A = this chain, B = another copy of it.
Amino acid sequence: MSRIWTTRRDEKARRIKSIAHLTQNAILNKENIIEAMEALIQPGDRVVLEGDNQKQASFLSESLLQVNASKVNNLHMIMSSVSRPEHLDIFEKGIAKKIDFSFSGPQSLRVSQMIEDGTLEIGEIHTYLELYGRLFIDLIPNVALVAADKADRFGNLYTGPNTEETPAIVEATAFKDGIVIVQVNEIVDELPRIDIPASWVDFVVEADQPYQLEALFTRDPKLISELHILIGMMTIRGVYEKHQVKSLNHGIGFNTAAIELLLPTYAESLGLKGKIAKNWVLNPHPTLIPAIESGWVDTVHCFGGEVGMEAYCAARPDVFFTGKDGSLRSNRAFAQVAGQYAIDMFVGSTLQMDMRANSSTVVSGRLAGFGGAPNMGHDPKGRRHSSEAWLDLITSDDPLSKGRKLVVQTVETFQNGNTPVFVESLDAIEVAKQAHLATAPVMIYGDDVTHVVTEEGVAYIYKAEGEEERKQALSAVAGVTSVGSKADAAVISSLRERGIVAYPEDLGIHRNQANRSLLAAKNVRDLVEWSDGLYNPPAKFKNW
C-alpha cells in the first residue's frame, strides 16, 4: 500500500468539480455564493477571512453567516481583525468554533463575553506578522475569503491602494492546494495593473456592494489638545532630535498626530528639517500631509491605504509607493517586516502601563488583541545593521555590545474619565486567567521600551541601571497617579542630572509654548487645503 501524496489537491479538485454547474471559468455569480460556499467549505476547515485593519471582505463574511450550519460547521477561523458583527455571529450559529486572530478592537467586549459563555474558542492572539508566518507552518488554510477592487475575467486581481495583506493570505492558501475565493467591487475587461495573478485565484465574485473600508488612521487635528502638543514637543526635542531619528513608524493616536503637525512648525524652527523623520513606514496619515508638502518626508511605505488619501498618494509618487497605473501599492506583510527590522524608532501609545513599563491595551473585560504593535514595538534581536540613532542607544563598553531600536511610549498620565494610565498591575493578568490564555496579553514588554514620554517629561529608561532605577524614572513622569506619587524628589534630581529623566525645562521647552497655534493644520479642512484639494476626507470628517 503506497501512500497517496495528493490528498489536498484531490480534495480541492473534488470540491471545485462539485460546483461546476455554478461557474464560468473563475467567475461565480453572487446569487450562487451561499450554495458555492456550502460545497467549497467543509466542516472543520481552516478558513482565513480577510478582516484586515481597514479592508473587510464584507460580502463574503455576510454570505458565510448564511450558510447552512448543518453543512458547514466547526470552522477554525483565522482573521487579522475581528471587526464586524458577523465575524462573531458565525460562532453563535455553530458555523465556526475556534479563532486565531490579531486584533479585535471594535468587537473586544463581545469576544470576552463569548469566551466566557463558551461559544468562542480562542486559538492564540498574534501580532500580524506572526499570524502570516503561521499560515505557512501550522495554520495552513483550506480556504481563503478575501477582497479586491477589481478582477478581470481570468481572475487576475487589482487591489489598488488597499493591497494590505491580501497577497500574503492568498499565497499561503493557493500554493498549498487551498481554495481562494475573492469578492471584487467590479469585474472588468482590463485591469489598471495586476496585483495578484489569476494563477493564484480559484473564484471571483462581484459583490452587491463595495467591500467595507474604514478610515482608521484619520485623526481630526481639531481634537488635538495642548497636552498632546506638549508631549509632541518633548518627544521631538528629547527623542527625535537627541538621537537623530531618521526612519520611523507612528502608531494611531493624537500624540503622534500632534508630532506630525509640529514637524513643519516647531521642528522646523529648531532647524531639524532634513535631519530627522525622513523615511517612514506608515499608513497614509492625513496629518502627515503638511510635513510632506513642506519637504520633510522623503519616503513612506504603507501597510494599507486610507480612505480619501487615494488621489493625494497617487499625485506624490516620489514619496509613496505606487504602481504603473499610478495608484498606491500598500503591502502589510512587507511594511511589518520593514517596521520591525529597518527603522530607527517606533512610537506608540497605550491604555495601561505598569511600573516595569509593561503595557497593554487589554483592559478589564476587553480582549482587544495586538495588531502590529508587538512586532514594531520591540528591539529585533536579529537586526545586524546599524544607524546613527541605533548606535546612540549603546550604554555598555562591552566589545560585543550593539545598538537598540527606539521604542517610545507617549501617554498622558490619565485617560479620559480620570482613569490612570500608570497602574500597579496590568488588567491583562486577570484577563488571561478569565480567558484561559497561556500567557498574559501584554502589548509591549517593559524591557523593550526605551523611552516613556508623558506631559510631565521624558523617562530615558534604557539608561536606567537596574529595575529599581527604572521604576523611579517612570515614577518621575507618572504625575499624580499612584505610581507617580512614589517619586522621591532627591532621586528625581539625580536622575535629571544624569540625563535619565528630562522635564520640559531641561529640554528648553516652556509649558505655555504648547499651544494649538503651533499645529500646521488645525482641522481637516486645513489638511485639504495643504493637499491642494487632493485629499478627499470621508463625510464624517467634513463639517464645513
**Which A residues are closer than 8 A to B by beta carbons?**
3-9, 100, 123-127, 129-130, 132-134, 136-138, 140, 156, 168, 171-172, 174-177, 193-199, 246-247, 279, 281, 295, 299, 301, 315-319, 321-325, 329, 331, 333-335, 337-343, 356, 358, 370, 374-386, 391, 399-403, 426, 428-429, 438-442, 445, 448
Min CB gap A16→B, angstroms: 12
A317-B5, A317-B6, A440-B399 as given contacts; A334 in contact with B429, CB under 8 Å: no
Contact with A136, one of B129, B342, B429, B445 (Cβ below 8 angstroms):
B342
Contact with A5, one of B174, B315, B337 (Cβ below 8 angstroms):
B315
Min CB gap A169→B, angstroms: 11
Q: State whether A385 touches B334 (Cβ < 8 A).
A: no
Q: Which residues of B contact A382 (CB under 8 A)?
A: 127, 129-130, 340, 374-378, 380
Give the docked Cα–Cα distance between A138 and B130 (Å).
Answer: 24
Min CB gap A319→B, angstroms: 7
Min CB gap A366→B, angstroms: 16
Q: Which residues of B contact A338 (CB under 8 A)?
A: 133-134, 136-137
Give the docked Cα–Cα distance between A132 and B336 (Å).
Answer: 11
Give the docked Cα–Cα distance between A335 and B172 (Å).
Answer: 11
Min CB gap A134→B, angstroms: 4
Min CB gap A220→B, angstroms: 26
Q: Which residues of B contact A331 (CB under 8 A)?
A: 171
Q: Which residues of B contact A370 (CB under 8 A)?
A: 384
Main secondary structure of the interface of A (DSSP, over half): loop
Min CB gap A25→B, angstroms: 14
Q: State whether A323 touches B199 (Cβ < 8 A).
A: yes
Q: 30 A-B Cβ contacts within 8 A?
A: A3-B295, A5-B315, A5-B318, A8-B317, A8-B318, A123-B385, A129-B382, A130-B380, A132-B334, A133-B334, A134-B338, A134-B385, A136-B321, A136-B335, A137-B247, A137-B281, A138-B299, A174-B323, A175-B323, A176-B321, A194-B197, A194-B199, A195-B197, A337-B337, A374-B384, A380-B381, A381-B448, A391-B438, A403-B438, A403-B439
Q: State whether A383 touches B342 (Cβ < 8 A).
A: no
Give the docked Cα–Cα distance between A281 and B470 (Å).
Answer: 39
Q: State whether A130 touches B341 (Cβ < 8 A).
A: yes
Give the docked Cα–Cα distance between A379 and B317 (Å).
Answer: 37
Name the residue of chain B whose CB is nearest to the CB of A372: B382
Q: State whether A384 touches B127 (Cβ < 8 A).
A: yes
Q: State whether A383 touches B130 (Cβ < 8 A).
A: yes
Give the docked Cα–Cα distance between A3 and B532 (Å).
Answer: 12
Q: Which residues of B contact A391 (CB under 8 A)?
A: 438-439
A5-B318, A199-B324 as given contacts; A440 in contact with B341, CB under 8 Å: no
Q: Which residues of B contact A384 (CB under 8 A)?
A: 124-127, 130, 370, 374, 439, 441
Give the docked Cα–Cα distance between A279 and B156 (Å).
Answer: 31
Q: A124-B384, A381-B381 are in contact. List 16 more A-B contacts (CB 8 A).
A: A8-B318, A9-B318, A126-B385, A130-B382, A136-B338, A137-B281, A138-B246, A168-B334, A337-B337, A374-B383, A374-B384, A380-B382, A384-B439, A400-B445, A401-B439, A402-B439
Q: Which residues of B contact A8 (CB under 8 A)?
A: 317-318
Q: Which residues of B contact A428 (CB under 8 A)?
A: 400
A136-B281, A199-B323 as given contacts; A386 in contact with B124, CB under 8 Å: yes
Q: State whether B337 touches A129 (Cβ < 8 A).
A: yes
Min CB gap A287→B, angstroms: 19
Q: Which residues of B contact A123 (CB under 8 A)?
A: 385
Q: State whether B386 touches A439 (Cβ < 8 A).
A: yes
Give the docked Cα–Cα distance between A132 and B137 (Å).
Answer: 21
Give the docked Cα–Cα distance between A262 and B400 (Å).
Answer: 37
A133-B341, A400-B358 as given contacts; A317 in contact with B177, CB under 8 Å: yes
Min CB gap A531→B, angstroms: 12
Q: State whether A133 touches B337 (Cβ < 8 A).
A: yes
Give the docked Cα–Cα distance between A134 and B137 (Å).
Answer: 25
Q: Which residues of B contact A177 (CB under 8 A)?
A: 317, 322
Q: State whether A381 touches B383 (Cβ < 8 A).
A: no
Name the residue of chain B whose CB is nearest to the CB of A100: B385
Q: Which has the most chain B C-beta neighbours within 10 Å: A7, A315, A337?
A: A337
Min CB gap A367→B, angstroms: 12
Give the docked Cα–Cα distance between A328 and B484 (Å).
Answer: 58
Q: State whether A132 touches B337 (Cβ < 8 A).
A: yes
Q: State whether B317 touches A9 (Cβ < 8 A).
A: yes
Q: Which residues of B contact A399 (CB under 8 A)?
A: 429, 440
Q: Which residues of B contact A442 (CB under 8 A)?
A: 400, 402
Q: State whether A385 touches B124 (Cβ < 8 A).
A: yes
Give the docked Cα–Cα distance between A196 and B342 (Å).
Answer: 25
Min CB gap A534→B, angstroms: 10
Q: Which residues of B contact A342 (CB under 8 A)?
A: 130, 133-134, 136-138
Min CB gap A193→B, angstroms: 4
A321-B175, A337-B333, A382-B130 as given contacts; A279 in contact with B5, CB under 8 Å: no
Q: Which residues of B contact A439 (CB under 8 A)?
A: 384, 386, 391, 400-403
Min CB gap A402→B, angstroms: 5
